[in-house]
Amino acid sequence: MNNLIPALVTGSWTDKVYPCYLDPNTHWNGFACPYFTQAVAEEVLSSATEQVPYSWEFDDDTFTVNHPDADEAEVYGGTPTEHGTLYAIGAWSWCWERVES
């Protein structure tokens, strides 16, 4: 987690841009794999609540995403980094694109 740099990303389902941290050398099928602060993770998931119901588990420090088309829930635990605890919401499964500022 030492290679994380501040960046901006957007998803194929939204016109919003979100601040995050990225390892510039890590991709999934050509897409970015962002890490978000808790506040931004909540914003990402709240903006998609119609499409992606989620819950926050304080005791486990996890977000659980219940995508209606998935067989199983996606669980994103907090990852301690030099930037604080970050959450890889949709990394390695959602189509995130890096946005140049």
AA letter at 3: N
In angstroms, the CA 45 to CA 61 distance is: 15
For the cut 70, the answer to whether the pLDDT of residue 1 exceeds it is: no
Structural domain span for residue 86? 5-99
Structure tokens belonging to residue 67: 């995508």
**Phi and psi angles of residue 94, each rounded to the nearest 5 degrees, phi first:** -105, 155
Kindly report whether the global pTM for this prediction surpasses the value 0.85. yes
- Number of compact structural domains in the chain: 1
The residue written with tokens 């486990």 in the block is 60
AA letter at 31: F
Considering only 1-5, 47-51, 83-87, 94-98, which range has the smallest mean pLDDT? Answer: 47-51
pLDDT tens across 15-29, in order?
899 999 999 899 999
AA letter at 33: C
